[in-house]
Amino acid sequence: MTKQLSDVEIAQAHQLQPITDIARSAGIPDEALIAYGTTKAKVDITAIADRPHTGKVVLVTGVSPTPAGEGKSTVLIGLTDALAAAGHKAIVALREPSQGPVMGIKGGAAGGGYSQIVPMEDINLHFTGDFHAIAAATNTLAALIDNHIHQGNALNIDPRRVTWQRCVDVNDRALRHVVTGLGGPTAGVPAETGFTITAASEIMAILGLATSLKDLKERLGNITIGYTYDSQPVTARQLEAEGALTALMRDALNPNLVQTLGGTPAFVHGGPFANIAHGCNTLLATQTAQQFGDIVLTEAGFGADLGGEKFLDIKARFGGIDVAGAVVVVTIRSQKYNGGQAREELSTENLDALSAGIVNVERHVENLRKFGVEPVVALNLFWSDTDAEREFMRTWAKDFGVTLAEADVWSKGGAGATELAHALVENLQEGASHPLYDPEKGVEASIETIAREIYRAERVEYGPQARKDLAYIKANGWENFPVVISKTQYSFSDDPTALGAPSGHTLHVRELLPRTGAGFIVVLTGDVMTMPGLPKEPAANRINVAADGTISGLF
């Protein structure tokens, strides 16, 4: 066996095509391309605004994961390369990685092995500056708020009720809870506040859903930054901030174009979390990919119950996207984990656990069908999978009545997804997808529908804060916003230890956060981590740069 290469070594050994060639191969006109070096570019959306969005959108989603994840992005990238090799005009539309976790545990997030997007070092570090623009806008708004209060507070903002938080793209637990404005009267008004990681900021969610510069400015103006002493919401527009924020976000709004190792065009743009936000790449990037591709493969974070639901109920609804197909990425390990096998034993064959856990993928498939989408199950192979386990999966799929195809994309790239590509194309259907609920029926009805249909809960319980929040949401006319339910990714329920396919449980709603700029209500069912920490041995300690600029230590 040859030495296993790391992701960054595979990516660096690869000869990238000039991004101008990638763009031309996709049919993107030269005048719409804004190059960032020779291998990255942004596409000027104003230069292509008149092209129809004709590409078929395929949602790549997953089962309830193990803590290691199931390789959704890697399957998506390999699958796109396989589609391209089969003669389809396929384009990737993925989220941008956050730099904070790159320095923490992960060390990099742009696919893996021979199914990567490149240049992976650039994509993982700074990229084209979108996250930095979001942080600049977020922190400028924070400064404008505090300055307004400091300079006389004409809007009567209650400093104790400012909900707007600053952000950085760093895993920094010490910034979760901070007190600012200390140091006396020339240094502002003291306030108890915190920082989120940039991916969790509302402006990230806004970037994800904006359809134009005009729409971006409208949404930025709609942000609720906090409340007055008499409990009235205060918007960024009242602070006259939306013009400056839009200026800071102007370039970030244009989708980023890179390539896969197979030379397929890839739009990598936006990266909101799938708990505090809707968890997918930008609507604009997906629509831009639709303008130039016949098949657009796009991903939603976490399992189909979280990211998949939000993709269909939030992004597809806002953007009028027809979802022509879906891929549920499953691993044998994940289903054994859902069937009760301990995490450290997942490399051992266990057909009983697999048989017990398979209800998990069944549930995800059933759920997607409720949106009018017929998914294909992609079995992402792992070295520890046994022949008997793989045979079990094939038999299960036949019995359950879903198309299953194996994928071996980490080690083979697109060549490992030929069968999956064929299966996907066979299952595409247009015009059948739809959202699950009607927001016009109100926030509680929306929550109840998702809880019943997707999470299979028997009832929804609202805690004391949630009841207050609901009343406040109604009083302010926000009750017809769609909902972003924040829930553990490890279970259909709000209990991360309830694996498999639990039902009959209670969904506990703790708090509701209006996100009037993004245009949704975040529904918290448990603790939500909006600022990760670093581990004892941070990945940063392994990252290095040679004198010629070659970066090592990204995985």
For a copy of itself, the binding residue among 213, 425, 445, 498 (CB under 8 A) is 213
State how far the Cα of 84 lies from the Cα of 114, in Å rounded to an integer. Answer: 15
Among this protein's residues, is 382 annotated catalytic? Answer: yes
Please give the backbone phi and psi of residue 136, each rounded to the nearest 5 degrees, phi first. Answer: -60, -45
State how far the Cα of 194 lies from the Cα of 135, in Å rounded to an integer. Answer: 14
Is residue 534 part of the contact set for a copy of itself (CB under 8 A)? yes
Alpha helices in 95-156 (DSSP H): 99-102, 120-124, 130-150
Q: How far is the CB of 141 from a copy of itself (least distance, A)?
A: 9
State how far the Cα of 374 lies from the Cα of 376, in Å rounded to an integer. Answer: 7
List the structure tokens of 22.
């990638």
Longest dimension (CA), the chain: 72
Is residue 351 part of the contact set for a copy of itself (CB under 8 A)? no
Residues 277-296 that bind a copy of itself (CB under 8 A): none
Is residue 32 part of the contact set for a copy of itself (CB under 8 A)? no
Contact 429, 325 (CB under 8 A): yes
Among this protein's residues, is 95 annotated catalytic? Answer: yes
Phi-psi region of 500 (alpha: psi -120 to 50; beta: other; left: phi over 0): left
Binding-site residues for ATP: 66-73
State how far the Cα of 46 lies from the Cα of 237, in Å rounded to an integer. Answer: 25
Residue number with CB closer to a copy of itself (327 or 551): 551
Is residue 29 part of the contact set for a copy of itself (CB under 8 A)? no
Which of 396, 410, 481, 492 does the annotation list as catalytic? Answer: 410
State how far the Cα of 196 lies from the Cα of 530, in Å rounded to an integer. Answer: 5
For a copy of itself, the binding residue among 168, 223, 376, 424 (CB under 8 A) is 168
Among this protein's residues, is 54 annotated catalytic? Answer: no
Residues 99-138 that bind a copy of itself (CB under 8 A): 99, 103, 121-122, 125-126, 129, 132-133, 135-136
Q: How many residues belong to the site for a copy of itself (CB under 8 A)?
A: 78
Which range binds a copy of itself by CB under 8 A, 69-77, 187-195, 351-359, 451-459? Answer: 187-195
Q: How far is the CB of 138 from a copy of itself (least distance, A)?
A: 9
Among this protein's residues, is 140 annotated catalytic? Answer: no
Is residue 35 part of the contact set for a copy of itself (CB under 8 A)? yes
For a copy of itself, the binding residue among 61, 74, 139, 338 (CB under 8 A) is 139
Select from 120, 112, 108, 116 the least CA-distant residue to 40: 120
Among this protein's residues, is 530 annotated catalytic? Answer: no
Three state DSSP letters for 481-521:
CCEEEECCCCCCCCCCCCCCCCCCEEEEECEEEEECCCCEE
Phi-psi region of 282 (alpha: psi -120 to 50; beta: other; left: phi over 0): beta
- Residues 144-168 as b/e (b if ≥16 CB within 10 A, e otherwise) read bbbebbbeeeebebbbeebbbbbbb
Is residue 156 part of the contact set for a copy of itself (CB under 8 A)? no
State how far the Cα of 381 lies from the Cα of 410, in Å rounded to an integer. Answer: 9
Is residue 191 part of the contact set for a copy of itself (CB under 8 A)? yes
- Tell me whether strands 375-380 and 323-330 are parallel, antiparallel or unpaired: parallel
Residue number with CB closer to a copy of itself (46 or 348): 46
Residue number with CB closer to a copy of itself (254 or 446): 254
Among this protein's residues, is 410 annotated catalytic? Answer: yes
Is residue 217 part of the contact set for a copy of itself (CB under 8 A)? yes
Residue number with CB closer to a copy of itself (221 or 500): 221
Which of 72, 219, 310, 515 does the annotation list as catalytic? Answer: 72
Q: How far is the CB of 492 from a copy of itself (least distance, A)?
A: 27
Which range binds a copy of itself by CB under 8 A, 63-71, 301-309, 431-439, 544-552? Answer: 544-552
Contact 86, 229 (CB under 8 A): no
Is residue 538 part of the contact set for a copy of itself (CB under 8 A)? yes
Residues 474-533 that bind a copy of itself (CB under 8 A): 533
Which of 82, 266, 274, 285 does the annotation list as catalytic? Answer: 274
Among this protein's residues, is 20 annotated catalytic? Answer: no
**Single-letter amino acid code for the residue at 472:** Y
State how far the Cα of 112 lies from the Cα of 554, in Å rounded to an integer. Answer: 11
Tally DSSP H helices, then E strands, for the chain: 20, 26
For a copy of itself, the binding residue among 37, 320, 340, 496 (CB under 8 A) is 37
Is residue 59 part of the contact set for a copy of itself (CB under 8 A)? no
Contact 503, 456 (CB under 8 A): yes
Residue number with CB closer to a copy of itself (275 or 331): 275
Q: How far is the CB of 215 from a copy of itself (least distance, A)?
A: 10
Among this protein's residues, is 302 annotated catalytic? Answer: yes
Please give the backbone phi and psi of residue 92, each rounded to the nearest 5 degrees, phi first. Answer: -85, 140
Residues 229-258 that bind a copy of itself (CB under 8 A): 240-241, 243-244, 246-248, 250-251
Which of 164, 273, 292, 302 does the annotation list as catalytic? Answer: 302
Which of 61, 74, 403, 525 does the annotation list as catalytic? Answer: 74
Alpha-carbon torsion (490, 492, 494, 499), positive or negative: negative
Q: How far is the CB of 186 from a copy of itself (least distance, A)?
A: 7
Binding-site residues: 66-73
Which of 40, 95, 166, 333 does the annotation list as catalytic? Answer: 95
Place of tokens 């996709």: 26
Q: How far is the CB of 193 from a copy of itself (least distance, A)?
A: 9
Residue 399's contacts (CB-CB under 8 Å, 6 or more residues apart) are none
DSSP 305: I
Strand partners, 295: 56, 90
Place of tokens 């397929």: 264
Residues 397-456 that bind a copy of itself (CB under 8 A): none
Residue number with CB closer to a copy of itself (19 or 378): 19
Is residue 170 part of the contact set for a copy of itself (CB under 8 A)? yes
Which of 195, 267, 382, 481 does the annotation list as catalytic? Answer: 382
For the annotated catalytic residues, the residue numbers are 72, 74, 95, 106, 274, 302, 382, 410
